[in-house]
Amino acid sequence: LGRVAAERIIADNALPHWGGRVIETISRAEINDLLDDVIEEDGVALARELRKHLSKLFNWSADRGHLVASPMVGMRRPELGYKARERVLSMDELRLIWDAAGSLGRKPGEGSYPFGPAYRLLILTGQRRSEIAELQRGWIEHERRAIEIPAARYKTKRPHVVPLSQPAWELIQSLPRWNGGDCVFSTDGGPGRPAGSRPISGFSKAKELLDAKVAELGQKKGLPPVEDWTVHDIRRSVATHMARLGVPIDHIERVLGHVLGGVAGTYQHHAFFDEKRAALELWGRQWS
């Protein structure tokens, strides 16, 4: 997740309990209790992210002398461990998710807008959820018809350019421009904040609504249910199906923003823009 998303996770889940507290007074037991509550109310995935970002916060505080030691050192929470996933959604499953996303609402005031367009852009680009959720108008390059995510907001700490296929460009062009902020996907900014000032959050609830729509559409079409899938599975599935369409693996890696190792990663300064464009246009034609 990006920095903004990490701050929001802490603000939404930890500050209501610990706001105004001196950090050295927060105990290991309180942290465990908070994680237990988040697991119970919002699930393991959010608790896992919260634990990760709290650990970074306490380690930073200890490193700068605000704490003698982080209360999370050696904390054992095996249920929050990361497990490598290999789930690849079939094209039928992706199409069900695509169609269901279209029914979540395409305009402000409709259903669960703007999660429908956000899910569709995830399918069209293969980017991470946080990168799409936090998308800014200033990152959109109209001349090149692309998105450039700045290094400060990207996981690899390098800028990442994503050419937009025709359907991806049309989707972005169809979205409203907010008067109060630069966020592409936004509803309102919360109390005292205008629409557009804060990226969307609440993907867990949106995913529940999307799953319900997927199940409903699948039943109508006589298709098997889409089971055991996560939003990040979309990214893995996009890469897999691009390879099936004949896109070279190194071009797919560039689309995904992965840093290549060895000599290629150190000395290859070619941006692969045209290759990424060709890959995403080919993929975009599956959805146009």
Interhelix angle 273-284/231-244, rounded to 10 degrees, is 100
Read off the pLDDT of residues 265-275 as tens digits, 9 standing for 90 and up.
444 545 789 99
Interhelix angle 91-102/203-221, rounded to 10 degrees, is 110
- Separation CA 69–CA 91 (nearest Å): 49
- Separation CA 137–CA 147 (nearest Å): 9
Give the DSSP per-residue string, 107-152: STTSTTTTHHHHHHHHHHH---HHHHHT-BGGGEETTTTEEEE-GG
Q: What is this structure's pTM?
A: 0.72
CB 186 within 8 A of CB 132: no
Backbone angles phi, psi at 146, to 5 degrees: -150, 170
Classify 216 as helix, strand or coil: helix
CB 132 within 8 A of CB 125: yes
For 167, how many CA atoms within 13 A lie in the half-sphere containing its CB?
A: 17
Both structure tokens of 55: 């650990």
CB 176 within 8 A of CB 106: no
Read off the pLDDT of residues 84-114 as tens digits, 9 standing for 90 and up.
678 899 999 999 999 999 988 766 666 678 8
Cis peptide before 114 (omega within 30 of 0): yes
Buried b (16+ CB within 10 A) or exposed e, 126-163: bbbbbbbbbbbeebbeeeebbbebeeebbeeeeebbbb
Residue-level pLDDT, tens digit, the chain, 288 residues: 456 678 888 988 999 889 888 999 999 999 999 999 888 877 888 888 899 999 999 999 999 999 999 999 989 888 888 766 788 999 999 999 999 999 887 666 666 788 999 999 999 999 999 899 999 999 999 999 999 999 888 877 888 999 999 999 999 999 988 877 888 998 665 566 667 778 887 788 889 999 999 999 999 999 988 998 989 899 999 999 999 999 999 999 999 998 765 544 444 545 789 999 999 999 999 998
- Separation CA 11–CA 4 (nearest Å): 10
Long-range Cβ contact pairs of 102-110 (< 8 A, separation 24 or more): 103/213, 103/217, 104/206, 104/209, 104/210, 104/213, 106/174, 107/176, 108/176, 108/187
Task: Tell me the torsion sign for CA atoms 165, 171, 177, 180.
Answer: negative
Rounded CA Rg of the chain: 20
